[in-house]
Amino acid sequence: MLLGILITICLEILLPVITGAAVAFSLNDGRSKSDLLAMSYVYGQIILFAIFQPVFVFSILKDFKFSKALALFMILMGIVLAALVVICILKYKKLIGTVLKSKIEKPDFWMIAALAVVGIMMVMSVVMAYYDGDDAYYVAAAAEGINSDSMYKKEPYTGYAITSPYRYLFAPFPMWLAMLSKLTGIRVSAMAHSFLPWSMILLAVSVTYIFSRYLFGDDKKKRGVFMFFITILIAFGDYSIHTPENFLLARSRQGKAALASFILPAVVALIFGIIKEYEAKKKVNPVRLIMLMLVGFAGALCSTLGGVLCVSIVLTGSLCMLLTYRKIKYPFLMAVFSMPCLFFPLLYFVYT
């Protein structure tokens, strides 16, 4: 179990941070260790989700075994990770050295209070985990992938063979859960209820921390107050089973929880970054546009309509940017780069 926990930490924290480091350095939105760590974590997880989605949808449509799909993902992810690490070392070597040598910023009272609330939420998400009706689908589908080495061959609710096209296969988030369980050796139910929740909470809080940077710059007090009240709103937002806070704290093993709490806020944060950079430099880093495309793929992994929601938000942001600055180039590019994720909803209509 201890080895499984260590592997889980590597997969859910260390791997995303390493994967997203090159993106965080290239966007240059913050030089402090905490800012770069949060950005690396968020962007890295988006990249992981974005690679996982097409690999597993393709594998399911080709009737591959789960183990073969997992091997394909690991090979592709290894290539991408190696490329990103090489880029990071060659292009940002001096910046990495400067960041590593810099002192860790001392958090103020409000940021410490916010961290305390986050810690409480993480602990409670584990010790107060409870069964939800949708577990009959999410956990069962993930367990099927491992136990029978197949994907979407059986109806999770009944165990009977699926005889017609299955609408859930275009958002295979349960396979992400199965992947974590397979690589760590931790049972699917334990991974879903005890280990995935704290990762999703950290991702949601990290996106909020990126927002605080955009809103308040280097003002630690304002950022701390903002983070504290946001975490309080999350902690006490579980007043209904329909709120995003409920999905984050109590149902984070479900794809729609990741979509509402992490992916959609990340889309807004990326749009915010594009607008802020355009205001300052009158141009936009192409990496931001690429991340808009990847976050759409990540949204499609979480829900069949996740990509559609991501595109809708991007189109709204591009329209606001067009009306504000009267320049069509970047609003148009934002719309174009957001569109590829619509391929999966189109597949849904073709196959169902």
Residues linked to residue 154 through DSSP beta bridges, in sequence order: 161
pLDDT at 129: 66
Q: What range defines the domain where residue 186 resides?
A: 2-351
Listed as own residue / partner, the contacts of 85-94 with beta carbons closer than 8 Å and 24 or more positions apart are: 85/18, 85/21, 85/22, 87/22, 88/21, 88/22, 88/25, 91/22, 91/25, 91/26, 92/22, 92/25, 92/26
Tokens of 19: 């994967």
Residues linked to residue 161 through DSSP beta bridges, in sequence order: 154
pLDDT at 267: 95
Q: Is the dihedral of CA 153, 158, 159, 163 positive or negative?
A: negative
Counting the structural domains of the chain, the total is: 1
pLDDT at 118: 92
Q: What is the mean pLDDT of each run of 10 residues along the chain (352 residues)?
A: 83 92 85 86 96 94 92 95 90 76 78 92 78 76 88 80 74 92 89 86 93 88 92 85 78 84 93 91 92 95 90 94 91 94 86 72
Query: Is the pTM higher than 0.85?
Result: yes
What letter represents residue 7's amino acid? I
- Distance between CA atoms of residues 56 and 49, nearest Å: 11
Angle at 275 (CA atoms; ends 203, 21), nearest 5 degrees: 40
pLDDT at 222: 92
DSSP state of 152: S
